[in-house]
A and B are shown apart, each in its own frame.
Chain A
Amino acid sequence: MSEAEEYSYIGKRVPRVDAIWKVTGKAEYFGDVKLPHMLIGKILTSPYPHARIISIDTSKAERLSGVRAAVTSKDMPETALDFYLPGMKGVLFENFPLAIDKVRFIGKEVAAVAADNESIAEEALKLIDVKYEVLEAIFDPEQSMKPNAPRLYDGVENNIARTLSKTHGEVDKGFEEADYIFEDEFKTQPQYHSAMERKGCVCSWDVEGNLTMWTPTQTPHLIRWEVSTVLEISMAKVRVINPNCGGGFGAHAHIVHPYMIICAILAKKAGKPVKVEFGRGEDFAYAATAPPFIVKLKSGVRKDGKLTAREVKMIVDCGAHTLSALGQMKLGYYTACVHLYKAPNIKFDGYVVYTNNPIRTLPYRGFGNPQVAWAIESQMDIIADKLGMDPMELRLRNLFEPGEISVTGCKFDAYGLPECIKKAAETANWSEKKREGMPNRGIGMACLVHISGQVVYDSIETSSVLLIAKEDGSFDLYTDCSEIGTGIWTVCQQIAAETLGTRLEDIKVTGGDTAVGVFELGSYASRATYSVGNAVKIAATDMMQQLFEVAATMLAAKVEDLEAKDGEIYVKNAPEQKVPISEVTYYAHFKLGKVLISKGIWNMPIGPYDPSADRWPPPGMCTSYPFGCQVAEVEVDPKTGKVELLSLTAAHDVGFPINLNSVEGQIEGGLVMGCGYALTENLTTEEGRVLVTDFADYFVWRAPDIPQIKPIVVTTNDSYGPFGAKGLGEPVLVPTAPAIANAIYDAIGVRIKELPVTSEKILKALKERR
């Protein structure tokens, strides 16, 4: 279909629209916002993992000079924090900004103050007197499910927050048909997002009762929706400004954080703007992580490698609040369990379990897929080893046929997985390296399927944009999709310019302010390029039509005979008959009295979900499925257990790459994040307390640590995506950890089933084997 050569801007390495701001230090982040008379807000949190609050006395703190407001749960709105989108309310449970009668984890917000400066605010926190009755706590999710475990909530049996069960086909029969049955248990750790910017916000109320909130967010409109619902004021009275966002990765997706409401109420009570900005230690202790999963995986396989049945049990520790744990478990099931390889018979039982662990299960790049892919892709290699089969061959034998419809109704429009496997293997010299079998060196592979757009909640999946022509032929493009670093605004500029046949510099992209733009879900779920890109294309196509109608009058030509390129509209067969777009917009506005405005809205075109059959009509749970295959090469020192990562090769089916720099940047960044997930990163806790206080305790990879990285872009031209593009941001992280662990097994024959795969674990396993 489409090729990059046909396009002026699509598929090119177009420089980012925000780069000039960022390289000069002029890009503003919320921490740079400074308002007159702004106060500093600080939050007091629970020191106990489980306790009843007997009393809170803030009077001493309030009397301290320079303290302007102190708040407890009595000052907070009565509405709990929740997702307030249609079809999603009630996802959360008892999630109040400040604890009301009980605290259920170390770090739960209990009270807060606003003061003239940080040191007074910190001093004031020490003067708040909270009396607790300490209760027995529970930290192990499997122990938590037992009848005699301490209960977190009245009326929640066995601390089981949510359950989910699905069955397809006949699992017992499937296992009977198997020649081998494999049963393994895999675990993942809490991974910290490690955005370089710390969390926080600035809140300011005006005299009319309008709230303005500056905060880094992936979803400004959802924050507005939720804040206005909780505060019981209209959406028009809440303005969320998202300056630049110093890294998202899910930490700023979707959820209204307690500190946002606390900050808003402090500002209201003090009558002055308030800033809450976490220190790095506080940011770690806030414990916003990928939820840890336990995956018990039973697979039936025939001698020829074909999967016959799968039984999967997942236990997800959600800490004291469900937050996004259920959604992540669901997506892990729908991606890695059901759609990575074909298993005709599947049984799935999932449990989201409360504990007193300090975990806030925020979305995390991949949203449950990395946790479940860790299990599925590790076990694929266990199976291949037993069968004496090349792990690549085993994977190829279990792929879907082109055009095949899955048990849940998914039909892959552009199925790039076979090509991803082929290209990754070729580039990494897979077959040769497998044959060589150098001592202590190993090579491993893992694959992924993902989604473009959120599907796990029965809710909306919408992007909308506005395009306004200026009198001189330039255009304002308004999107409220957050630019969290992915390059989405540049993608919007490229798509608008390409569609309109105008120049890049004629498109000015503006966003990040709910007072300016129209509804946008935001930058998460690998949806932005796909969904916002489609909305931009629709708006630009409409604008083109409007421009052609005016130009047809000016050129005395037919609309259908017109084309545009480089800012000029001309007659196809007589290109000398032409008019610059600048004259067209001027003529339209001042001679014809036409305001040229267009809008684009994209609602993901999928059918209704049938819960009894666990099925959508094709194309299924989304329209555009990204795929990928990564190959890792390692050398392991058997004396120390130290893993040296030699190279990572990553082939990703992106549909079509709108901006090659951004596509490669996502792959490279995701791989390095995956290295941390695989080998070093763990937000360790002990008795419910986060032990990490700074980056010295939490090993994010640095420039000298990174291996050789080979990104491969696979083009498949998805029918639904703009110019054939589909999502990429999350998929890149999904297969890295199992690819590395499979390489480690290939190198030294040791299989670690719990992330991260540390030298200590490898060494212990080596000793046990001897």
Chain B
Amino acid sequence: MIVKLEVNEEIYEVHVEPHETLIAVLRDKIGLTGAKRGCDVGGCGACTVLLDGRPVYSCMVFAARAEGKKVTTIEGLAKDGKLHPVQEAFIKHGAVQCGYCTPGMILSAKALLDKNLNPTEDEVREAIAGNLCRCTGYVKVVKAILAAAEMIREGRKSE
């Protein structure tokens, strides 16, 4: 079947099989490989994307079910060549190591900050509970997300 997917504010008309997952379509048919395949069973979070602003495991969502919703992948986060504050904070605070979990981690963080700009440390940890990371021990990831929240708050104040 042909489905119309809105990914990062672009419309794609793609032929998909009914059982095809969103991660497969994003990576193999649309060419957006930022979402990573880590387990294919919703256990690691490397494939996290946003669906209408909410983080989902794209390996657990049929592509056809994403029709009519806004899909945001890591490639859609930077605007006009400017990084999103979460991306900037990940760089500045050393929250990146091997990088395989990073796109999913950043999207989970963005979803949190979009609805809560003053999260506690525990809220940040809960927001990324579905994203496994073997390298960092999460400490700098949590620090970066809290710093990003502050950057966004400060930015809004000065506007």
Contact = CB atoms under 8 A, between A and B. Distances in A.
Contacts of B125: 703-704, 706
Contact of B98 (A196, A280, A672, A709): A196
B77 to A, nearest CB: 8
A692 to B, nearest CB: 11
A572 B13 CA distance: 66
Interface in B26-68: 27, 32-41, 43-44, 46
A487 B91 CA distance: 12
Contacts of B129: 702-704
Given A25-B75, A245-B98, 10 more contacts: A26-B34, A28-B33, A31-B37, A194-B132, A196-B38, A247-B100, A248-B98, A280-B44, A668-B138, A672-B138
19 contacts: A19-B90, A23-B103, A25-B103, A26-B75, A29-B36, A197-B98, A245-B98, A668-B140, A669-B134, A669-B136, A669-B137, A695-B43, A695-B132, A696-B43, A702-B138, A703-B141, A704-B122, A706-B138, A709-B139
A249 B134 contact: yes
Interface string A18-59: 111111111111011000000000000000000000000000
**Interface size range on B against A:** 35 or more
Contact of B139 (A22, A27, A279, A706): A706
B5 interface: no
Contacts of A193: 134
Nearest to A246: B100
Contact of A16 (B74, B96, B122, B130): B96
Contacts of B103: 22-23, 25
B122 A24 contact: no
Contacts of B87: 23-24
Interface stretch (A264-272, A659-667, A748-756): A659-667
A673 B32 CA distance: 31
A670 interface: yes
Contact of B36 (A246, A661, A662, A668): A246
Contacts of A16: 91, 94, 96
Contacts of B43: 280, 694-696
B16 to A, nearest CB: 15
Contacts of B137: 665, 668-673, 706, 709
Contacts of A19: 90-91, 96
B83 interface: yes
B54 to A, nearest CB: 18
Given A669-B97, A704-B126, A709-B137, A24 B78 contact: yes
Given A29-B100, A246-B98, A485-B97, A702 B139 contact: no
Interface string A635-678: 00000000000000000000000000110110011111100000
B94 A279 contact: no
Contact of A196 (B34, B77, B106, B133): B133
A25 B132 contact: no
Contacts of B32: 25
A378 interface: no
A247 B90 contact: no
B93 A196 contact: no
B18 interface: no
A34 to B, nearest CB: 8
Contacts of B131: 703
Interface in A58-90: none
Given A280-B39, A702-B129, A15 B91 contact: yes
Interface in A130-174: none
Interface centre among B34, B83, B101, B137 (most CB of A within 10 A): B137
A196 B36 contact: yes
A706 B124 CA distance: 13
A700 interface: yes
A288 to B, nearest CB: 14
Question: Which 10 A-B pairs rank lowest in CB-CB distance, beginning with the nearest?
Answer: A25-B34, A485-B98, A661-B94, A22-B99, A246-B100, A25-B74, A668-B137, A672-B137, A485-B97, A280-B39
A244 interface: yes
Main secondary structure of the interface of A (DSSP, over half): loop
B15 interface: no
B146 interface: no
Interface in A471-495: 484-487
Contact of A664 (B44, B91, B94, B133): B94
Interface of B: 27, 32-41, 43-44, 46, 73-75, 77-78, 83, 87, 90-94, 96-103, 106, 122, 124-126, 128-142
Interface of A: 13, 15-16, 18-29, 31-32, 193-198, 244-249, 279-280, 484-487, 661-662, 664-665, 668-673, 694-696, 700, 702-704, 706, 709
A218 to B, nearest CB: 11
Given A665-B136, A700-B134, A706-B137, A31 B99 contact: no
Contacts of A664: 94, 139-140
B147 to A, nearest CB: 13
A376 B44 CA distance: 34
A662 B75 contact: no
A264 B101 CA distance: 29
Nearest to A283: B39
A391 B122 CA distance: 34
Contacts of A709: 137, 139
Contacts of A244: 98-100
A247 B134 CA distance: 8
Given A15-B91, A196-B132, A23 B83 contact: yes
Given A670-B137, A694-B41, A700-B132, A22 B94 contact: no
A662 B93 CA distance: 10
A703 B123 CA distance: 10
A484 B98 contact: yes
Contacts of B27: 32
Contact of B44 (A24, A196, A665, A672): A196
Contacts of B140: 661, 664-665, 668
Contacts of A484: 98
Contacts of B74: 23-25
A23 B98 contact: no
B136 A23 contact: no
Contacts of B91: 15-16, 19-20, 23
Contacts of A22: 96, 99, 102-103
A25 B133 CA distance: 16
A249 B78 CA distance: 31
Nearest to A483: B98
Contact of B73 (A25, A195, A696, A706): A25
A27 B78 contact: no
Nearest to A13: B94
Contact of B40 (A249, A279, A702, A704): A279
A671 B39 CA distance: 24
A672 B139 CA distance: 10
A32 B103 CA distance: 14
Contacts of B34: 24-26
Contact of B99 (A13, A246, A696, A706): A246
Q: Of B39, B93, B125, which is in contact with the most chain A CB atoms at under 10 Å from its CB?
A: B39
B36 A15 contact: no
Contacts of A662: 94
Given A19-B90, A27-B99, A196 B46 contact: yes
A249 B37 CA distance: 19
Given A196-B38, A280-B41, A670-B137, A23 B33 contact: no
A85 to B, nearest CB: 26
Contacts of A487: 97
B99 A194 contact: no
Nearest to A247: B98
A703 B138 contact: yes
Contacts of A695: 39, 43-44, 132
